[in-house]
Structures are given as C-alpha cells and as structure tokens.
Amino acid sequence: MHLLYTKRSPYARKAIVIALEKGILLDLVDEDLQKKSQRLLEANPLGKVPTLVLDNGTTVFDSPVICQYLDNLNDKAIMIPRESNERLEVLKWEAFADDLMTAAINLYMEKVRHPNDFHKDFTVTLERNILSSYAYIEKNLSKLKKFNLASVAVASAIGYIHFRLPHLKVQGALSSWFEEIAKHPSMAKTIPVV
C-alpha cells in the first residue's frame, strides 16, 4: 500500500500513527501540494492528502476513512473501539480534532497568502476557536486517557498548531497531556517537519 502524504499534514499523521500501531507497512510517498503529481490527481481528483492506494489500485480517502480501513485490517492495537458507544466517542473526538486541524490550517494559510493584509477579523475568530477548543479538550482530558484514534487525532492537531502557529502552544494540564502522548514512539516518529 502507498500513502500519498506530506510530512506536515496532521491528517496524514493520524493515518501513519494508526499504521505504525497496527504494524502495517505503508510505502510513504511525499507529495508537493504546490505542484500536484499526476499520480496524486489520478488517485484523488481533489489532489488532497492523505490518499491511500491499495495494492489492487483502489484508492481510499480521506483520513477518517483511511484510519477506519487500516484499523480493520488486523486486531493488533485496536485504535477504534468495536463497541458502538465507545466507537462513537472516539469518532466524535476524531471529527472534533479534524475541525481543529482545519481551523489551524486556514489560519496559517491566511497569514501565508496575505502576510501584509490578512483578514484580521477572520484570523482573530480562528484563534479564538482554537483557544476555546483547547479549553474544551482540557475540560475533557479524562476522555482522552487511552491511546487510540481520539487521542492520536487531538495530539496530531495540537502538534500541527505547535509546528505552524507556535504563538498558540497549549498550556497547563493540556500541555502536560500533550507532552506525555508525544513521547509515544509512533507519535515521536511522525512529528511534522518542513
């Protein structure tokens, strides 16, 4: 299997962590999203990463579907619970973390695209959303004690924010939680890089 990705994508990071935890070998293919390859565009017409290309040529996207697919390949390190209530809780946190990732990416890209004339109200709103998300996560840390897709997704979002928006680093109990989860080998191996 090939995973088309970028080293900076928090969405791809989730999928790679799941694969590492499950002992699934992925051939990682680093893509340039500024000059999308024909391979990526054929695999995913939107040219988004991550996109998983199975050995039979079938493509799987986007990250929530890839994570569920990978988790169902074997029973080693169940990352998404099979029981319906626990599963719902984990998938809810993944969706929340994905939205946090999207807010962070939008904030970063607005400032990159318009460094001298970015939309101030838009960026202030996104920063507030990120900070209120931190408060929500910190209030609910007891739900993120297990190392599963929920904690991986939240930590991937925070890791991306620390990488791209260092002025919005987490503090307090959330910082302690993040530092602990970041020590997990699969998380340490997937820290975003330029």
131-158 residue pLDDT tens: 999 999 999 999 999 999 999 999 999 9
pLDDT above 90 for 116: no
pLDDT above 90 for 59: yes
Q: What is the pTM of this model?
A: 0.96
For the chain, percent of residues with pLDDT exceeding 90: 95
pLDDT above 90 for 165: yes
Tell which residue, 142, 178, 128, has the closest CA to residue 158. Answer: 178
Reading the block at residue 78, the tokens are 């169940």
